[in-house]
Structure 1
Amino acid sequence: MSREFTRQLPATDAEALRSRRGSLSQRLHIDPILLLLILLLGVSSLFILYSASSRHMDMLLRQSGSFALGLVCMWMIAQFDPRDLMRWILPAYGIGLALLVVVDIMGHNAMGATRWIAIPGLPRFQPAELMKILMPATIAWYLSQNSLPPTLKQVMVSLGLLAAPFVLVVRQPDLGTALLILASGLFVLFAAGLRWRWIISAVAAAVPAALFMWQFVMHDYQKRRVLTFLDPESDPLGSGWNIIQSKAAIGSGGIFGKGWLAGTQSHLDFLPESHTDFIIAVLGEEFGLVGISLLLFCYLLLIARGLIIAVKAQTLFGKLLAAGLTLTFFVYVFVNIGMVSGLLPVVGVPLPFISYGGTHLVTLMIGFGLLMGIHTHRKWMVSE
């Protein structure tokens, strides 16, 4: 539109033109609400991690670097129109599977598990974390090529796409991450309008599937975790130690907590893995019920914003991917808090944005970058 024609526009039309061009945040492809919540969680995590790691500055600096890298990756991913990214999803899925095969053949072993690829001169990384993003994107890409609700054939193809990374991650062994990958794909199927009779059938099949996994898939330490979940007091100095100490830490915090850096369970080394899987126990001990409630409120706002983005998405692919990513994030939070409080078995799932770890943090922020891209690459209407 020429400048001369723009001058002839009435005031209301000029405002409509500016609306179509979008605000600064829209042009930068940033969702201010998501960015504010992520920054709040990221800064809060550094305070909690400083205490949980017994004032370990090296760990704090590494986490800060991972968070900064995650912000850059989030912004870069948000610049791409999700419709343009669709052409790269299938090759990326193939690369992700290939990396999982590399881990299975020659991966780096640590703490009895082979989950990482270590390249000399570079930080080691965990390919399974990338599949948490690639899996829902792949299922959303496949289902968006067809009419919905999905047919039985489409469901079976989707389950086939899910099965390969699930089996490879279970072999590492990393049952917690494998279940999250499985859930991320199943949530996309659910959002696509999966028929309820199939959902009920799947729930009914869960019992024999669980028995099969117990007998032929699960390792001895995983079985002990389930038995400990059912009765933590059966082995209070062994497999039940983590849950008992975690609940003691959370309970001792009371309403307002003991104060920052004043926790005893983590600082006296009663609480294991206090900087990773059990970091919320440190938060509960030092900041009490108030601190945990504020954290849960931030998570609730993030999940609500993600679901709003899914509803407002203008493409089927965007709707399915946004819904899958958001519901998977909910599972992250639910599983971690559930296992730390003794409501679920311990499966080694970190607390999003709070637990120490580079790969899972960067991967998480890439997912939110996709959400921002879905929201900000819409065709902006005058009413907005």
Structure 2
Amino acid sequence: MPWHYIARSMRGHPVRPPESGIARRKSIWERIHLDPWLLGLLLILMGSGLIVLYSASGQSLDAVIGQSMRFGIALVGMVIIAQFSPSTFLRWAPLAYGVGVAMLVAVDVVGDVGMGAKRWLVIPGVIRFQPSEMMKLAAPLMVAAYLNRCELPPRLRDIVVCGVIIGVPVVLTAIQPDLGTSLLVSSAALIVVLLAGLSWRLIGFIAALGAAGVPLLWMNMHNYQRQRVLTFLNPESDPLGSGWNIIQSTTAIGSGGLWGKGWLQGTQSQLEFLPERHTDFIIAVLGEEFGLVGMLALLLMYLLIVSRGLWMASSAQDTFGRLVAGSIILTFFIYVFVNMGMVSGILPVVGVPLPLVSYGGTSSVTLLAGFGILMSIHAHRRLLSR
């Protein structure tokens, strides 16, 4: 402590030691409620995705520019969302959930059909979007808002209520049909319930109940969905039909070897043997052109993002914040796991894009909106701790 502060203290004057420069002046990141480490990792991931997309899209600048614009819009949305406090998300969760369910009902009535499924709402001349993407955030927010009012760990009655909250959007999404998105919506919301502190006995009971419902699920699946499961079990049974995607993707990944064939030099992708190479199967392009090293680098990037997100979630100061933050980052991990699993042949093909790498707008906006909520929870934790 400087001598003049000591002198004032000896004369009986109250003395408050000077705060450090860090305490007195907030950094730019604190003022805009963003985490620089997580933001930097996301930007590197998106930049890498654009490089792979250029090759996967047949060297289309239009695709890269379009995806860059979507990323820009999603980043702006993330920054805006990060400015709201977690209490705002808590208050607005029921409204967001209700609007999302209403839009899913509207899809069933007046939705736009594409690729044999009715999944989109169209505002003529303005936008075409999938309301089911919104439920990947609205459903876990609603479940977390409900559990925030309950005594934890949740009782059976609370779990039943959560099951209803989850079941409504999942059923409405599954009948579009969109099995992949319905599974992601259900997993995002179920993670909230698990993080609330279920006993292992109850988890086992729910798992057994789910296993008992598999035959019912099978009977209600569409023919193409059943075929995907059968193809997963034996892709060689129809190598020129339903097994084509898996065979070509695993061939592309395997042919890349250790270092890959080089950017724009992939044969499976550039000669168009690989289907959906700019969306669901884009990681096969990366594996063929950048090899095992490139895929490990991408996995490391995802691991760093998930690790940073889990640390941010663990430091949340209230129940709602911990449940929502944990759900957001673990759902992101599930995205990565499911996409890589289906492309490598260890999971059935369910149409899940690779986060922030695959071509697409609605998914990117949803993901970055989730990261905006995560950063808000973390930033306001710092504000409350001052």
Give the TM-score, by structure 2 length.
0.94
State the aligned residue count: 375
C-alpha displacement at 1:19, in angstroms?
2.1
SS at match of 1:124: strand
Q: Which has the larger radius of gyration?
A: 2
Which of the residues 240, 263, 269 maps onto 1:266? 269
Q: Map 1:175-324; keep pairs closer than 5 Å.
A: 175-215=179-219, 217-324=220-327
- Matched to 2:19, the amino acid is A
Structure 2 SS opposite 1:83: helix
1:21 Cα offset (Å):
5.8
AA aligned to 2:104 is: L
Q: Distance in 2 between matches of 1:286 and 1:95?
A: 43
Which residue in the other structure is 2:111 paired with?
107
Q: Which amino acid aligns with 2:162?
A: S
CA distance in 1, matches of 2:310, 2:32: 21
Please report how far the alpha carbon of residue 84 of structure 1 lies from its aligned counterpart in structure 2 after TM superposition.
Answer: 2.1
Displacement of 1:23? 2.5
Cα deviation for residue 343 of structure 1 reads 0.2
| CA distance, structure 2, for counterparts of residue 367 and residue 173 of structure 1 | 24
CA distance in 1 between partners of 2:233 and 2:345 (Å): 9
Q: CA shift at 1:57, angstroms?
A: 1.7
RMSD: 1.7
Taking the TM superposition and a 5 Å limit, the aligned residue runs for 1:343-358 are 343-358=346-361
**Unpaired stretches in structure 2, ≥5 consecutive residues:** 9-13
- Give the % identical residues: 55
| d(CA) in 1 for partners of 2:212, 2:149 | 33
Deviations 1:46-76 (A, max 9, x none): 1100000001122111111100001000000
Question: Deviation per CA, 1:138-183, whole angstroms, max 9, x where unpaired?
Answer: 1111101112101111100001000000000001100000000000
Bigger RCO (CA 8 Å, 6+ sep): 1
* Matched ranges for 1:23-34 at <5 A: 23-34=27-38
Over 3 Å counting, the alpha-carbon distance change for 1:209 and 1:60 in structure 2 is: same
Superposition deviation, residue 219 in structure 1? 0.3
For the Cα contact (< 8 Å) 1:20–1:380, is it kept in 2?
no
Superposition deviation, residue 13 in structure 1:
3.5
Q: Cα–Cα, structure 1 residues 379 and 43, in superposed 2: closer, same or farther, change >3 Å? A: closer
Partner of 2:374: 371
AA matched with 1:168: L
Q: 1:18 to 1:234 in 2, by over 3 A?
A: same
The answer to whether the aligner puts 1:342 opposite 2:330 as a matched pair is: no
Partner of 2:40: 36
What's the TM-score, normalizing by structure 1?
0.95
Per-residue displacement from partner, 1:4-27 (whole Å, max 9, x unpaired)?
x9xx99795311x85276432111
Partners of 1:314 and 1:26 in 2: how far apart? 17
CA distance in 1, matches of 2:30, 2:254: 44
Query: Would you say 1:51 and 2:51 are equivalent positions?
Result: no
Matched, 1:13 2:18: yes
Partner of 2:69: 65
Give the conservation status (yes or no) of the 8 Å contact 1:245–1:270. yes
1:177 partner SS: helix
Q: Are the equivalent residues in 2 in contact too, given 1:235–1:241 (CA < 8 A)? A: yes
Q: Are the aligned partners of 1:22 and 1:380 in contact in 2 as well (CA < 8 Å)? A: no
